Amino acid sequence: MAKDVEVTERGSFSGKDYHDPPPAPLIDTEELTKWSFYRALIAEFIATLLFLYITVLTVIGYKHQSDLKDHGDACGGVGILGIAWAFGGMIFILVYCTAGISGGHINPAVTFGLFLARKVSLIRAIMYMVAQCLGAICGVGLVKAFQKSYYNRYGGGANSLADGYSTGTGLGAEIIGTFVLVYTVFSATDPKRNARDSHVPVLAPLPIGFAVFMVHLATIPVTGTGINPARSLGAAVIYNKDKPWDDHWIFWVGPFIGAAIAAFYHQFILRAGAVKALGSFRSNPHV
């Protein structure tokens, strides 16, 4: 969920050539002096707050409407399909709204993947993650404030490993799910693709939202679908029961591993970063 600067690199497509943007500095203290940096932090905070508020309310509302013990209907509510649409739809909306301000990460795993690809500096990556986690905690806090009885009764929308699944299965689900998401982020925001395929309009938030939707369909029965450490942390902090904390590490380790693999795959395999670097090394007459 990042906004790459569209530039041109020399190639065989006249009029659509571009140069890859230079990598972001590892430590860029100058960012701390710019209002645009703090505006981006505010955008990440508010976007993650809204994301958790809407999605956790959807989860709790579904559980209440389908609760047979409370005169509910087993087929009532939005169902798993509706929950997946809530998560994917909110990501589409929020990335669309914030991409021009902060890049629309709304997820520490996405920020981590973009940091590994040198799209953002270390300072920005850390501060984004802090803003995202605080926004998630506040968003779930609002849900509890407005629907406290239902919130406590139906698990607070917290992620946990479902009964019958091993820790390895849950970790694998989070790794693969996050890989799908972060790989989609890199592909949808790739300046090379935007330059050469400009005749096919690509609205980046749309495939990113669909990726979130599809991953939720697959992994809600396994882990409740994390793929976003801020989402998992916010729900766990406010609900604060043993079960969400028991395997909470899965919802950080899995997404970060998945994001790292996606960054490596896109940058060094698909974009042939390693081959380019080796070719440049071999063609250097001074070596």
| Torsional class of 157: left (φ above 0), alpha (ψ -120 to 50), beta (otherwise) | left
Which tokens hold the place of 248? 């909470």
| Torsional class of 265: left (φ above 0), alpha (ψ -120 to 50), beta (otherwise) | alpha
50 vs 94: CA distance, rounded Å: 8
185 vs 23: CA distance, rounded Å: 17
Model confidence pLDDT, tens digit, residues 128-143: 999 999 999 999 999 9
Which tokens hold the place of 74? 């087993």
Q: What is the pLDDT of residue 258?
A: 98
Chain centroid offset of residue 203 CA: 17
Q: What is the pLDDT of residue 197?
A: 58
Quick one: CA torsion of 80, 83, 84, 87, rounded to 10 degrees? -160
Q: What is the pLDDT of residue 278?
A: 47
CB neighbour burial string for 169-207, b if at least 16 within 10 angstroms, e if fewer: ebbbbbbbbbbbbbbbbbbbbbbbebbbeeeeeeebbeb
pTM above threshold 0.75: yes
Q: Which of 80-89, 190-199, 212-221, 261-270 has the lowest mean pLDDT?
A: 190-199
CATH class of segment(s) 30-269: mainly alpha
16 vs 195: CA distance, rounded Å: 5
Query: What is the rounded average pLDDT for all residues in the chain?
Result: 86
Which tokens hold the place of 23? 């990598």
Model confidence pLDDT, tens digit, residues 24-77: 888 888 888 899 999 999 999 999 999 999 999 999 998 888 876 776 666 777
